[in-house]
Structure 1
């Protein structure tokens, strides 16, 4: 049964206590952590102290399988064993790319967009500059336009990799189910590796991988809406792929460490994509978040519906120009000049991802306003920050993010 009336900010009381009178619209970047994560960090320290070198056995036989099962349940995936972890998405992405041979005579072919996050866009640009990859990077005006371009590309081309964000970080636009279905149908019988970068949708938008788990890779992490902080990312790997990356860590042959091998050994399944020693404290934190939500019967739909109400309340106040007064405090009064500048730039017409143009289940958890130019956007961001209204920006796009730590 859904937990419709739950007081979400209550479980973030320790983070919120440090920010009275402040407005943190940055959940899409650095989400507040729930109180349970403090105890999880202590648990990690205690396990390290009590178990010393034996903690690795405890982590690998107890903690990691438990988290994999939570992830599989959350994404409606049957193959819970097929997750692999790393400290960041870049490590997982580059490791996946090295499953292909780097050969300038036969370049790796990649289909993507010009709106991907830096972890991917920087690396793929460097590989392109060094003539190892051939990239079709699409520029699009809306998801319908992207659908048409991808459909056209897949008719006339084949690719080694297709890399797309589920929610585009600089636009707040979400890939439609129709587009995912199109890509799946066009590639499911091929060796094309389709990677869905879900960092800006994981534990925000309700989403099921059940239809795609035999072909799509799914990439995400704990830093944003998962509310567990930096340091833990994961990749789901479909059963059909037995990968042997060139960029490989010693965890990828963990079971054979005591045996000398003539050739480099790879574990079977997702473990072949493992790296090396990492700090697993964030794994403890993410486990504690899943366990808290389970204990309180909080579903992904509960979280999504709460955030949509926050957005609707925000937009109503924006429309009647009462928003900044609601967000200000006696200690940080908003001047008339800042109010005028803000409402001149931020209004329904400047929204890149207006809710009325998006299906409810596809609404991203941040609103993205197109400001006239990069400098004006930066200056407006700084002026809001001085008044304890924390946002962020990408180029000329000002982003207001929403999370369940905020009060309705």
Structure 2
């Protein structure tokens, strides 16, 4: 664990004054879910509207010529990618996933290896693909004690066309820190490795430089990027999936390759683009990302701040200051390695606790029997004390 005397960075509530003042009696402890939006995103949203009003049809010259490349560059810097051209944006990760799978050029069913702990954007679609015969799905238990060894062994069999797995699991907070070993198996002809980084991007330091030429990485702005919906992205390694079947006309913006008289595609990540979209999410993504960089709020710094608060919260829970939460099993206690930005507390009463806390103005969330508490740069020790006080009164 982090040492108890580790100094916390000063909580930056000033950067979130509008969201915090909008509901002054709310205690938002779910930064891992709908992260509060920083003040700069309002200005970004207004800028998107004003550009539409002033530029009208020509707003796309700015949206695609300035805002989009700026968003790509933010992702590339955060993940240490060799080029921002490997990043493509979409309204949500589901659309990116469907487009990516459509690019696998082999007879059905596509053989997929994954886990029983993936988020619903993959879980539901994968189940439906199984029903329709599109894929054959092998699942590894994400909560098995030897999960990493089981998953890597299954991947090494060579029996799969697509390997899809989370870097940080959304329910338990387990960090699969060996996920990058899968890059050794990836080939343009298959298998493809897709890492769901939604709970890793801007949550724990992530450097893809060594694997960027072999691994897909999908994430977005809704959580720790602090930008809200509409700004999901995919890093697509060059040469993997040159011609997705699910394709929009934006994928033909640029120099095209393809059969004579056929459908052409650009060769960078734009080959995965769809069609007309709402660009305001990208404006917010850029606004929030530039704010983080300007304020020196690096991912390591924010992660250390959140981790110290997690340790403080767990100490108080163990001491009985949070009442019944002492009975919960902590699925992801802080250790020596990377730490999810939320604590996962398992208890049969987790759902009842969530609703009781909501009635008191405290926002947490539940996945099955797991209560999740997410902390960020707008939290401080006083918030931990207040949270425990409410919990003690349940």
TM-score (norm 2): 0.89
- TM normalised by structure 1 equals 0.86
Whether 2:161 is the aligned partner of 1:160: answer yes
Shift of 1:102: 7.3
Structure 2 SS opposite 1:399: strand
**Partner of 2:27 in structure 1?**
23
Q: Deviations over 1:191-243 (max 9, x none)?
A: 32111101111111111111110101110000011111111100000113252
Match of 2:325 in 1: 343
Q: How does 1:2-401 map to 2 (within 5 A)?
A: 5-101=9-105, 103=107, 106-142=108-144, 145-176=146-177, 179-187=178-186, 191-255=190-254, 262-323=261-322, 339=323, 342-343=324-325, 345-346=327-328, 350-355=329-334, 358-360=335-337, 362-372=338-348, 376-401=349-374
Instruction: Write the deviation string for residues 241-268 of structure 1: whole angstroms up to 9, x where unpaired.
Output: 25211111111113489xxx83122122
In structure 2, distance between residues paired with 1:248 and 1:400: 38
**CA contact 2:8–2:308 (8 Å) conserved in 1:** no
Alignment length (residue pairs): 372
Contact 1:84 1:236 in 2 (8 A): yes
How big is each residue's C-alpha offset from its partner over 1:57-107, in whole Å with a ceiling of 9 and x where there is no partner? 11111111111111101111112111111100000000011112574xx42
What SS is found at the alignment partner of 1:78?
A: coil
Cross-structure match for 1:333 = none
SS in 2 for 1:20: coil
CA RMSD of aligned residues (A): 2.0
Judge conservation of contact 2:164–2:193 (CA < 8 Å) in 1: yes
Structure 1 residue runs without a partner (length 5+): 324-338
Q: Does the 8 Å contact 1:22/1:388 carry over to 2?
A: yes
Q: Given the superposition, is the C-alpha separation of residues 122 and 189 from structure 1 closer, same or farther in structure 2, using an over 3 Å criterion? A: closer
**Quick one: distance in 1 between partners of 2:70 and 2:287?**
11
Change (3 A) 1:268 1:101: closer
CA contact (8 A) 2:251 2:274 kept: yes
Q: Corresponding residue for 2:386?
A: none
- Describe the shift of the 1:255–1:152 C-alpha distance in structure 2 as closer, same or farther (beyond 3 A): closer
SS at match of 1:159: coil
SS of residue in 2 equivalent to 1:228: coil
Structure 2 CA distance for aligned equivalents of residues 157 and 137 of structure 1: 15
Q: Is the 8 A contact 2:317 2:326 kept in 1?
A: no
Equivalent position SS for 1:156: coil
Deviation string, structure 1 residues 145-173 (Cα, Å, up to 9, x no partner) = 12211232134333211101111011110
Q: Secondary structure at the match of 2:111?
A: strand
Contact 1:217/1:236 (<8 A) preserved: yes
